[in-house]
Every structure is written in structure tokens, then in C-alpha cells.
Chains A and B, each alone.
Chain A
Amino acid sequence: MNLKDKKVVLHDMSLRDGMHAKRHQITVDQMVDIATGLDEAGMPLIEVTHGDGLGGTSVNYGFPAHSDEEYLGAVIPKMKNAKVSALLLPGIGTVDHLRMAKDLGVSTIRVATHCTEADVSEQHIGLAAKLEMDTVGFLMMAHMATPEQIIEQAKLMESYGANCIYCTDSAGYMLPDEVTQKIGALRAELNPNTEIGFHGHHNMGMAIANSLAAVEAGAVRIDGSVAGLGAGAGNTPLEVFVAVLDRMGADHGIDLYKIMDVAEDRVVPMMDQPIRVDRDALTLGYAGVYSSFLLFAKRAEAKYGIQARDLLVELGRRGTVGGQEDMIEDLALTMAKEKGLI
């Protein structure tokens, strides 16, 4: 693989996807500490939001330690060069949240839908584009659709005004060949000015390999997370990815030692549990299930005595999509009843 001099724009997820792994309890001080470290290391884009995006605060997904306004209001003024992005899932957040984020200085809005339901994003993408924000369409659970469907949905988002489209492996299910195929198809079919991005999870141990495949196939933006802090087995660990890109001579613009230090000194010490491919995280990837289901399934196991792995496999079989966290407790109750446990 030759990535020499290839431009790669990295986007850190530790303060958004990482919120899942921290049950949305990252403090404002921790956010500012990590974000300033990333800024000094040269990270161009940092996402700051509730794990489930703007307005994600809920019983269903978890109440965060602080509001989106508080986090964004604390982090953005401290950034010297880095820009801050926010995630928005239509059906959870609304254009009111989008305007709030814009007013606080968020420069990039990423509007996320299930990979076959892009038409719910028209209002939000349209408004972000009108406000002249960097507007990203984020197609989640992209392993659940064919390349043809992905292209069709990406074109919808492009038509609403997105200037960048992501192929998002929310379940950490994809293997490199699938990434090559889907990113390659997007690059071939979308407007040449539309950027392509890839967001991976490490549930099958493929996050680095998949991200490399994405760059080779034409993706410019790659999501990752310092120390891998993210849902499931985490996101593409950015310090590792930077070292790999460095060896390959790609143009990433990050100071390797500085990002290593942010990972080791600032992120790892605040982890509640090691971010690793344990059997439940592996099951997410294997069964194609949304990564943020991990801790909910573990909690249901502890409460109802049904193995998290069994819950996740069944949720995968049912075609559950992102956001359906309520179905985890529902399924645990149903299975516990069947087994006579309750």
C-alpha cells in the first residue's frame, strides 16, 4: 500500500464517542485538558458532544455530567488552532440544538442517520449548509447497506448541502475489503469536491487496517480517538494511527510524541475500564451491533442474569439500529421471563 504524501485530516472522537465509554460523565475540566493537549499536538478537528449527539441527554442514552452547552462553551474558547465539531442525530436532536452549537462557535456539524434513512437529515443538513458551516453527512451502520444503497443515500445528503460524506462502521463489523469497496464507490460517484470520510470501531481489531484501506480508496477525513476512547472496543486509536501514517509517509500534520502523551497522561488515567476487545465488544463486531450498546448490555446482564453476548447476538439478528438502546432492557426482560428468572 502506498500512501506517501497522501493528505489525511484526522478527527478526534474521544470527547464524543468517548462519552459512551465514560457513561457521559467526563468532567468539563477533563474535556478542556484533553482538548488543549490535542490542539497542541496539531489535531485539526475535535468532536465535543453527548455520545448520542446534541440533545442526547436522556434516560435512554444517559444523562451527562454537564450539558452540551457547558462542554462546548468551555472547550471552544481554549482552542488555538483546532476546530470543534458537534454530532446531531435527527430524531434525537433538532435544528434548535444546531443553532445553539453554531452560536457557541462549533464550525463543523455532522448530521448522522442510519445508512438507509438519509432523508430525515434534510432540515438539519440544509440549515447547517445555509449557515455556511462545514457540513458532514454521517451514514451510520454502513455495513447494513449495499454500496449502491450507500451511494444513493450519500447523494441525498450531498443534494441537501453536505460537503463531506462519511461511511461509518458503527458496529466495528467491516473488514478492509468492504471499506475499500464502499469508500471507493463513494469516491467514484460523488461530486469530486465532496470529501469522503471513514469512522471505524475496533471491535474486530480492524480499526487501523480499515482506516488505511479508507485512505487508499479515497477518504480524506479519518475519525479516531486518542487512546481509542470510544464505544465498544473503542475507535481507531489515533496515536497508533499517527505512528502508522508517519511510517508510511502520509501527510497528517500531527506531532506523534505529543499525541502519545495525551493518550498516556490524560486519557488512560480517566478510563473507567480498559478499552479493549473483550468478549462482549467482540460480539458487537461479530454480530454487527451498534457499539454504544456495550455498557447497556453489560448492565442488563448484571441486573437480569442474561449474558450480554446473548443479548447482543439477538439484537443483531433482529436488525436493531443505532439509538434503540431501549430494546436492550426490553429484550433482557423478555429473555429473563422465558428462563423463569423473573
Chain B
Amino acid sequence: MSKKLKAAIIGPGNIGTDLLIKMFRSEWIEPVWMVGIDPTSDGLKRAEEMGIKTTSEGVDGLLPHVIEDDIRVAFDATSAYVHAENSRKLNELGVIMVDLTPAAIGPYCVPPVNLKQHAKELEMNVNMVTCGGQATIPMVAAVSQVQDVEYGEIIATVSSRSAGPGTRKNIDEFTRTTAGAVEKVGGADKGKAIIIINPAEPPLIMRDTVHCLTKDTPDEAAITESVHNMIKEVQKYVPGYRLVNGPVFDGNRVSVFLEVEGLGDYLPKYAGNLDIMTAAGLRTAEMFAEEAAAGTIELPARG
């Protein structure tokens, strides 16, 4: 029997398609279904051409096949508005939900920081925060693992072309969710998030800056080592995650300047902000699969 967990992707847009391409390479996750709501959409056609099953009847179109196709994990790349219902219906059937929307019903998941814990506890719904959160929270955590961080601030700059209508329409959700996760996952006492959209052509690669204010004088050597180690952890699933400058120390300020280049699977390489979301989402599901194969967690029973 294959150790791979079978998966469904909900939302055949840019994110869903990029995720599908990454999933074909995975040793742990096997894509089986792509779920959409528009039978004429390009995304569903693309998925069909790539050889996976599709439905245009939304999650309800997938439900009758969950048990017979042994779907164990679903990725929701739709919107915060429909996520709660999608999650409820699939969780009932024992499907683990990886939430790529800003709905955040379940706990925040930033793979190198807290994924292992979520997998061990078999969280049935994990939220992938935001693109800016995935890119920066590992750095906040790298500092807070060394010493107390009283304040963590992140600035994410994305190209105009990679900022979709959902992000634009509800940009406050980005700042709130990211700031909250800088605290809850990053370990800062107080978090702040800023997003800038830059229209330059050719489009700029995602840039992220992380400022931490430590309670006591920063231990420069320990923080520098922790930051470099964390960069390597993120690079395991996002090879284009790079430290451009820093860590810089100025009084109790620690600053790190990053660049995130995507793999260019379906999304262009400059859209590292989208790539890091799909890569982190997939990495999350893989960890659940690894833990299940190792016998440390037991997936919900099926008759």
C-alpha cells in the first residue's frame, strides 16, 4: 500500500494550479481531485488535462467520492467566506483541511516553527496565515527562540501583478492576520504588519523586512546563528528564500532583509509571495503524511 495521502484541491485558480504542479512531485501527497464551481473555467480544464478528477459542483460534488477515493487531506484555495462550510463538511468525513484562505478557523501554521506540533496533535484544520506571514514569521521565531522579543514588525512588499483581487479587496485582513501570527507563532509580545504593493515593471521579486525589538541587549552571535539555521529550514521547501542583508543590530533592534523567489511552477518566479503559500501548504500536508506513516499519529478511522 502506498504511504502517500490522497488529496483534493478546492479552487482551481492560480494558487490551486500551482499547488497541483508541486503535488505531482511530492513523495507524500497524491493529487486526486480538483474542485471548482464553473464547468467552463480554465483551471478545471487544466487539471483535467493533467489527469486528475474534477467536479464543478463545489465541495458537494466531491463529498460522495471522499471515502471511495480515500481522500485524506484537502487544500482550500477559495475564499474566507466559503471556507468554514467547506471545512465542516470535509472534517466530518475525516479529511484534514489545509486552509490557504484568510478564514483562520484553525490554528496558524508556519512549517519550520510549529508544524510538527500541529501534526502530532492531529489538528483537523490548520491555517497558513498569509504570504507575508509565511515569509517573515520564521525570522521572528528565530530571534524569539534566542531571547525575548517585545515587538516584532514585518514589512512585505509584493509586485502589483502578484497581488490578487482578494488581497486587495480586504487588505486589512492581511495586516491583522499577519500581526496576530507574528505574536502567536513568531513569539513577539506585540506584532505589527505592513504590506506594500509595488507596480514596477518588470515585476519585483517579493521582498520582506523583519524588525525585532528585543527586551535585553541582543546576543548577536546566537541570533545570527539562529537566523541562518532558520533560513535553511525554509529553503527546504522554498529554495528561493534568501537572506539579502542582516541580521543588523542597532541597540535592541534586530533587522533581517529577505527576498523570496518562487519556483516558477505555474506562477511566475517573482511571485514568491504566492509560491511560499503553496509550498508551505504542501509541506504541511506532507508532515501529516510522514507522521501517519511513522505511526506517531493515527488518521481518522474509515470503515
Instruction: State whether B176 touches A321 (Cβ < 8 A).
Output: no
Q: Which 6 A-B pairs have the closest CB atoms?
A: A319-B200, A326-B209, A59-B211, A333-B245, A94-B172, A91-B195
Instruction: Name the contact of B209 in the complex, choosing from A116, A120, A330 (C-beta under 8 A).
Output: A330
- Residues in A neighbouring B176, C-beta threshold 8 A: 94
What distance in Å separates the Cβ of A212 from its nearest Cβ neighbour in chain B?
30
Instruction: State whether B171 touches A123 (Cβ < 8 A).
Output: yes
Q: How many residues of A contact B (CB 8 A)?
A: 30
- Residues in A neighbouring B169, C-beta threshold 8 A: 119, 122-123
Asked if A329 is at the interface (CB within 8 A of a chain B CB), the reply is yes
Instruction: State whether B165 touches A321 (Cβ < 8 A).
Output: no
Q: Identify the closest chain B residue to A119 (Cβ).
A: B168
Instruction: State whether A326 touches B168 (Cβ < 8 A).
Output: no
Q: Identify the closest chain B residue to A145 (Cβ).
A: B199
Instruction: State whether A320 touches B198 (Cβ < 8 A).
Output: yes
Q: A122-B169, A123-B172, A334-B244 are in contact. Are A326 and B155 (CB under 8 A)?
A: yes
Q: A59-B213, A116-B160 are in contact. Are A323 and B196 (CB under 8 A)?
A: yes
Asked if B207 is at the interface (CB within 8 A of a chain A CB), the reply is yes
Instruction: State whether A114 touches B199 (Cβ < 8 A).
Output: yes
Count of A-B contacts judged by CB separation below 8 Å:
94
Q: A94-B176, A123-B172, A324-B157 are in contact. Are A334 and B245 (CB under 8 A)?
A: yes
* Interface residue ranges of B186-239 to A (CB < 8 Å): 192, 194-201, 204, 207, 209, 211, 213
Q: A123-B170, A123-B171, A123-B172 are in contact. Are A91 and B196 (CB under 8 A)?
A: yes
Q: Identify the closest chain B residue to A322 (Cβ).
A: B196
Interchain CA distance A122-B171 in the complex, whole Å: 9
Interchain CA distance A235-B211 in the complex, whole Å: 30
- Residues in B neighbouring A333, C-beta threshold 8 A: 245-246, 248, 257
* A-B CB contact pairs (8 Å), 10 listed: A58-B192, A59-B255, A60-B153, A60-B194, A90-B172, A91-B194, A116-B160, A120-B197, A123-B171, A323-B196
Asked if B253 is at the interface (CB within 8 A of a chain A CB), the reply is yes
- Residues in B neighbouring A90, C-beta threshold 8 A: 171-172
Main secondary structure on chain B at its contact with chain A?
strand
Residues in chain A within 8 A of chain B (CB atoms) = 58-60, 90-92, 94-96, 114, 116-117, 119-120, 122-123, 144, 318-321, 323-324, 326-327, 329-330, 333-334, 337
Asked if B175 is at the interface (CB within 8 A of a chain A CB), the reply is yes
Instruction: State whether B153 touches A59 (Cβ < 8 A).
Output: yes
What distance in Å separates the Cβ of B171 from its nearest Cβ neighbour in chain A?
5
- Residues in B neighbouring A116, C-beta threshold 8 A: 160, 199
Instruction: State whether B196 touches A58 (Cβ < 8 A).
Output: no
- Residues in B neighbouring A117, C-beta threshold 8 A: 160, 168, 197, 199
Q: A117-B160, A123-B172 are in contact. Are A329 and B197 (CB under 8 A)?
A: no
Interchain CA distance A124-B165 in the complex, whole Å: 16
Q: A114-B199, A123-B171 are in contact. Are A329 and B248 (CB under 8 A)?
A: yes
Q: A59-B213, A59-B253 are in contact. Are A321 and B248 (CB under 8 A)?
A: no
Interchain CA distance A119-B246 in the complex, whole Å: 34
- Residues in A neighbouring B244, C-beta threshold 8 A: 330, 334
Interchain CA distance A334-B153 in the complex, whole Å: 21
Interface residues as binary, B93-109 with A (CB distance below 8 Å gives 1, 0 otherwise): 00000000000000000
What distance in Å separates the Cβ of A97 from its nearest Cβ neighbour in chain B?
10
Interchain CA distance A120-B171 in the complex, whole Å: 6
Interchain CA distance A58-B153 in the complex, whole Å: 8
Given contacts A59-B253, A60-B211, 8 further A-B contacts (CB under 8 A): A60-B155, A90-B171, A114-B197, A120-B197, A123-B172, A318-B200, A320-B198, A333-B245
- Residues in A neighbouring B157, C-beta threshold 8 A: 324, 326-327
Interchain CA distance A120-B198 in the complex, whole Å: 12
- Residues in B neighbouring A330, C-beta threshold 8 A: 207, 209, 244-245, 257
